[in-house]
Chains A and B, each alone.
Chain A
Amino acid sequence: MLNMLDSSLEAFAQLPKSDPVALSEKTDDNYTRTPPTGGLVLKAYTRCLDDDLSPAGEAGTNTDTYRHNGFGAATDHLWVTADEVAGLATLTGESPLPSPLARRIARFHLVDSTRGEPPHWRPEEIRSLDLTATPAGDATVRIAGSFHLETADGSRGYTGQLLGTVSLARGATVSAVKVVALGDHWGEGRYTGGARPGKTPLAVAFTLADPKKPADRVPPQGIRWEQGYYQP
């Protein structure tokens, strides 16, 4: 890789000077997504674990098959709307996590993305989803619950619990997020072959992103259909 970069830079330096090409400012709305105004961007990290909660295997690519072995932390982003954030900030007692947010988390983020683009859960594949939000003092909201996601034929599924906290600062802004889903995952998708056999631990950690960084503004994988992402 370094050799390729060096030779490319050398070739670039040999190119004759040319006038800059005028670039169109037009963008394709089909592929343009921006984080929700006043909302929240969370990192969603997914990793295969061993039973003792240590990371499974070694991250990287199998040099025999050139297939990603799925033992690294996969990254996605969860977008939360301003209304959903305000709802958390004004809780007075234990409440179900609003359905759109709970279903968004389940369908698009409780997935095994460790070996590439995973299939997202269809609405009917949510066998059960019970997530609650509870004020826990000191401007903290506790998120807890369980989930059971499974295809009709049972060939792919993920069952487990979700637990953690959302910390609020003044002005109902979120200052920290520490939420994790942990459970057993099994099966693989069309583009995510090579899953470990049987039911194995998979964790998804949610933490605050920094939307000022370009890399943190990359849209969620599940937002191809924007309305479907926000109202799953």
Chain B
Amino acid sequence: MKTTSIAAALTALSLTNLQAGAPALTENNLDAAFAAALPTEKESAWLKIPWQTDLTSARKKAAAENKPIFLWEMDGHPLGCT
């Protein structure tokens, strides 16, 4: 019985830990939550490159400047990967 009680207590503790979750959003923690979600400078470094998002425009520009094109792409829907 004692073993069962301990097991039940540990299970409850485990569930409690899993379900601690997000604090309520208030005016007091709004700034912290907002800032935490923003990308860091390191994460935004790729934006320093003046990417073209239209392949036709990129091909014209590359041809005019006699430069190759570097494609950064992935599979999926053309409108589904931002």
Q: Is B6 an interface residue (CB 8 A)?
A: no
A33 to B: closest C-beta gap in Å: 6
Interface string of A155-199 (1 = CB under 8 A from B): 000001111100000000000001111111000000100000111
The residue in chain A whose Cβ has the minimal distance to the Cβ of B77 is A224
Contact B82 A182 (CB under 8 A): no
Cβ-defined contact, B76 with A23, below 8 A: no
Q: Across the interface, name the chain B residue whose C-beta is closest to A54.
A: B36
| B interface: dominant SS | loop
Closest to A74 in B: B82
A180 touches B30 (CB 8 A): yes
B43 touches A219 (CB 8 A): no
Chain A positions 38 through 66: 1 when the CB is less than 8 Å from some CB of chain B, otherwise 0: 00000001110101011100010000000
Within 8 Å CB of A204, what residues of B? 37
User: Is A220 part of the binding interface, using a Cβ–Cβ cutoff of 8 Å?
Assistant: yes
A-B contact count (CB 8 A): 136
Task: List B contacts of A205 (CB < 8 A).
Answer: 33-34, 37-38
Please indicate which of the listed interface residues A49, A180, A200 has the most CB atoms of chain B within 10 Å of its own CB.
A180
B59, A23: Cβ atoms closer than 8 Å? yes
Q: Is the CB of A23 within 8 A of B82?
A: no
**The residue from A27, A31, A182 contacting B33, defined by CB atoms under 8 A apart:** A182
Binary CB contact string for chain A from 114 to 133 against chain B (1 if under 8 A, 0 otherwise): 00010000000000000000
Interface contact A198-B19, CB-CB below 8 Å: yes
Q: At the interface, yes or no: A214 with Cβ under 8 Å from chain B?
A: yes
Quick one: which of B28-64 are within 8 Å of A by CB? 29-30, 32-34, 36-40, 42-43, 47, 50-54, 56, 59-60, 63-64
Of A4-12, A84-92, A98-106, the one contacting chain B is A4-12
Q: A54-B36, A55-B36, A73-B37 are in contact. Are A220 and B82 (CB under 8 A)?
A: yes
* A-B CB proximity, top 10 nearest: A198-B18, A201-B22, A205-B37, A73-B39, A203-B37, A161-B25, A20-B63, A184-B21, A182-B25, A12-B68
- Give 9 A-B contacts (CB < 8 Å), ordered by A residue: A21-B63, A45-B37, A47-B37, A51-B23, A53-B22, A53-B33, A180-B30, A203-B34, A221-B79
B interface with A by C-beta (< 8 Å): 18-27, 29-30, 32-34, 36-40, 42-43, 47, 50-54, 56, 59-60, 63-64, 67-68, 70, 76-82
